[in-house]
Each structure stands twice: as C-alpha cells, then as structure tokens.
Amino acid sequence: MAVIMVVFTLGYRMAGWSWGDSFYMVVITVFSVGFGEVMPITDPWLRAWTIAMIIFGCTGTIFITGTLVQWLTQAQIERALGGKRMENEIEKLTNHAIICGCGRIGRMIARQLEAGKIPFVILDRSPERVAEARECGWLTLPGEATDETVLRQAGISRARVLATVLPDDAANVFITLSARNMNPAVQIIARGEVPATERKLLQAGANRVVLPAHIGADRIAYLILHPNAREVLGEKTKDRLAFEHHLDELGLDVEEIEIGADSPWAQRTVGEIEREAAGRFLIVAIVRKEWGTDVNPGPTATLLAGDALVVMKRTSRG
C-alpha cells in the first residue's frame, strides 16, 4: 500500500498537479471515500493511470482489511475450535484419571501419568494455569472442580480415579463428597493440609488421603536419623520411591544400626547375627567406616567397630 500510494502520487505530480492535490487524490481513491476528482481528468493516459490506481489501491485496501480482521478474530476462533475439540476428546475418555487442581502437585501428577501413558483430564479455575496445561498438550477443563457440572463434563461417571489436590481442605472435602455421590465406584485420592482433615476426607468418601507436609517432615527426619540407609538405596528416583512404597505396604522398613566399640556385634559375622535374629531382620548392607559400602554381604563378612548395618525389618504394623 505504501508503494502504491507513493507511485501514484508521483504519477499525478508528473502530470502537473501539486503535491497536496496528488496525495489527496490518491488517498480518497485508494480508501474508496467516493469524493469527486480534485481536478477534471480529461487526458486519456491520466484516466488510465486513475483506473490502475483504483484497481491496485482498492485491492490492497481489501487485502489489508481482511488481514486485520483475520488477525483480530483468529485467536478467538482457534480458542473456540480448540476448546470444542478438547471437549470431544474428553467425552471419549474412559477409565481415566481426573486431577482437580493444576498447581505444583497437580502438574507433578500430570507428568507422572503422562509418562505412564494414563489418560487424564485436569480441572482448574485459573485461566493462566489452564493455558499452561494446554501448552503441555494436556486435556484441561476450566472451571471450579467443586461444581458438579464441571465434574460431569470431565467424565466423572466414566473415570477410574479422581485426585483432588487443591490447597483448600474444605474444597477437597466438597469435591470428594460430590465425586462419591456421582460415581460410587471411582477411587478418590485426596490431599489434606492438616492431619485433622484426614478423618473428614475419609468420611466424605476418599479412599486414600495424602498429607504432603506430614510426609515431607517424616522424610526429612528420617534422612537426619538414618543417612546411611538412604545412601544405600541411592538418589531419589521413581524406582526407589516405588520400592519404599511397596516396603511400607508389606509392613517392612529399612533402618540403620551403628556398631559401637562396645557393641556385642563387633567382630562377629553377618551369618551369626542373622541366626540370632531368627528372621526378625535381614542385613542388606554394611557401611564400612574405613571404606565403601558392602551391599548384600555374605554370611562370613565381619562387622567392625564404627561400621553401620543397614537392615530390613518388620514395622509395628507388619
């Protein structure tokens, strides 16, 4: 458009018009204002020049107008079509998981489920978090998870599990009640901020209650009390966390026992100690004071003062 206006302004100027008249003629013609000619045009070549300006100028104006409208509406159209497409995909889900809340815990759960190829849908009222989740390619519904209509749109009647991980205990209790009434067979895992909420969530219908603050405190205390036992299991990985979870389910735990200078186990073998224990625990490693860790030591391995035993034992529940 800039080139068209410059070229045709120069054309009228070369025909003897002033700069002001030339530019004015181009503007009212290109933008289809419909005013009369600035000066009578009788020269056939100047009329041909004006016709060319009308064709190129109006075409350019239409193109720019169309582009501007497309630019203004494309985002809205894509949002509408994307939302409809996402709703259709959610309607096809069966035996899926519903995550209520897309905060830090919700995103961590979503990543784990995505890695495990478990279908899921996220519910969150924050447009910013919904947009972030959709950028990750996750199925997401905006709205309050406490609203039964939103739960119904998420396919609660077809879902296998629902995880409500909002930082508001009252909202988690309400979501648990609604989900249990809408689908008595769904497994519900609820987050609680304070231990007193656990009983309320269980009464509301939750199958499991997770207290992140309580779990974190227990883990930190265990690391302080038993550092060597954690080192034997290695760094924090998914496999190790799963291993610890299974041990807890079986009523087993990993504990560290330090061998002091006056310990009755000093200078004795692993086989002797395990026979005396009569199955109460199993020695899985010896953390040597002078060198590295002896994993799965043989029955003839001798314990020295300053060493630490890592044993697997039954918990009070086990």
What pLDDT was estimated at residue 302? 83
What is this structure's pTM?
0.54
Q: Are residues 68 and 101 in the same domain?
A: no
CA dihedral (213, 108, 152, 135) positive or negative:
positive
What's the rounded Cα separation, in Å, for the pair 164 and 88? 23
Instruction: Decide if pLDDT at 233 tops 80.
Output: no
Place of tokens 């079509």: 81
Domain boundary among 49, 83, 117: 83
pLDDT digits (tens, 9 = 90+) for 61-99: 888 888 888 777 776 666 655 556 777 888 888 999 999
- Please check whether residue 220 lies inside any domain of the structure: no
Residue % of the chain over a pLDDT of 90 = 24
Beta partners for residue 161, in sequence order: 97, 187
Q: Are residues 177 and 257 in the same domain?
A: no
Q: Are residues 116 and 157 in the same domain?
A: yes
Domain boundary among 32, 58, 83: 83
| Terminal-residue alpha carbon distance, the chain | 82
pLDDT digits (tens, 9 = 90+) for 257-300: 777 778 887 878 888 888 887 767 777 778 777 766 777 777 88
If one counts the domains in the chain, the total is: 3
pLDDT digits (tens, 9 = 90+) for 162-180: 999 998 899 999 999 999 9
What residues make up the domain containing 56?
2-83
Instruction: Decide if pLDDT at 214 tops 70.
Output: no
Instruction: Decide if pLDDT at 228 tops 60.
Output: no
Q: What is the DSSP string of 30-49?
A: HTT-----SS----HHHHHH
